[in-house]
Structure 1
């Protein structure tokens, strides 16, 4: 409220400073006829002196006196000029000035109320850094931090603030360097090492490089339960071709996750994708079995998948694989039940429902699943 009072006082003082001289009556021009008469008399005296010194002739002096006399007569006979402008004109000028100067602050206030943010609360730097990176204010804040770190490169806390920002806006190489500077000039922590590893992995297109593995190892040494480090170590096992260990690592991470962990959804998605892949070793072993044993093994795998999905749900690829497998085995009734259950479990996913409808039409389950 105080700021609005200050603005009002400043605006009033500015308007008054402009209106004060505009509201005064202008001085009259040529109102002093006595002064004009004295001037012309001085001219006549000057002509007589020039004639006495023989600087001009008789004829020139007579002509000059006649002209001066005419001017003297006009000045003496002229009516006094009015003092300043007329009262109606003065009122019009005052009114026009007052309206113009009053409209300027009023229009400015209306524009600020419509386009500005008079009710926006203060936003400290830390709050702005946690917000969306698309705004101009965010870019200015990042530029200021960069300028500060350019002048103070050993500020470990500054690097620790800037590194996650770089990571969030996709500047992965800069993020890796910033995390390294935060570790070098500040206090090493599991989050800093894991953050540097993530930046390296993203900069490498998702590949867990040897340098990233070293940072992940450093993070787990400082904090064995660090979820970010464990997640990327599981991905490293997956990339090494050890799907079993990767699945076990993802499941252990989910078992230790808090109920409201924001990263749990990403872990579940990765685990589902990994579990949906066929095991090459198991497929080769089944293929080498006799026909009867092979059919029994396949049926057992399909029944196990059906039991797991019915109990805990699954992804669209898992449900699709189950339905197709049941159709291959000739169990159309079970495939129809699986399709109906999949539609219930994935009811919030429109794209998944469309995919299931296409699968039902493809396999001839459309009528059974309606």
Structure 2
């Protein structure tokens, strides 16, 4: 079917280009009116000569008639030259040669870059292929074994000793507090698989009492440890998460990612579109969803989709707030800044935010002297963005610049 459509298009285009040239060539084969006039005028010149020989007209009249007819002959010859097309046959040949080159080049390019032997893919076949991809996903263990090799974290001797002590203690006595701390520390130093294992053990230990935050953290760590793949085990945790917290937006984001990875952009688009339209100013969606939603809409068969406008990703104090702060005493200004930081922290806790906002919160807490709290926020942010290496890098950079992650 593909080749039939291509052949029909080639014939239609070739006909549209060559038809005017062929009509011009055919027109050149018919006799122009100027050629007929030229024959008439030449016959008139011969008639003048015969009349002069028979004595019908005198020499003066014959000369005058020859001059008048001669002017008509010249005019007819000029019109005949203008009406005769120049090289129309050559134009047809040239146009045909260009079409042949374009056709040959297009076929060669398709053979080199395309898939000439590929079968047609109706929607049912594509859905069946997506289902096979979904069923044949690697398990968590397989994905972790295949993940890209990462260099071992370089720790200071004293830090490495503390980490080993924490691991040994948790191995001897796996209590929830120790497991939670171990998962955070392993994630912070880049041991994604170890962090996933600790968090998985924590969730298993808490059982039915595991919170949605525990489950979301486990999903993020599983995806990170699997090099970005949402494995069947991660999907099972997602199902549990959404069952106990149906409004967990980050959980729905991972569901959309699952569909996208397994050839169902239509399902992924519907999920991510709802998230973006529900909270168009959510910095996380502006970071993760907005850059991809246009392409995803095209793949889902909705190329005319227009995403809602985004709000300010980094809202801050207004001009009036800054002006008011400039008139405060040092103590009042410190309280004002602390209030702004508290508002930012509350919003991030309730609505989430971008990596840049979390980084700003970390820096602000250090500035107002809450270093220990800044470290706690750093650890929380690293858990939230565990599945995004770029976001993790942003958080760690802010912590290093603030002096809490040396």
Give the TM-score band, short-chain normalised.
0.3 to 0.5
Higher relative contact order (CA 8 A, sep 6+): 2
TM-score w.r.t. length of structure 1:
0.36
The structure with the larger Rg is: 1
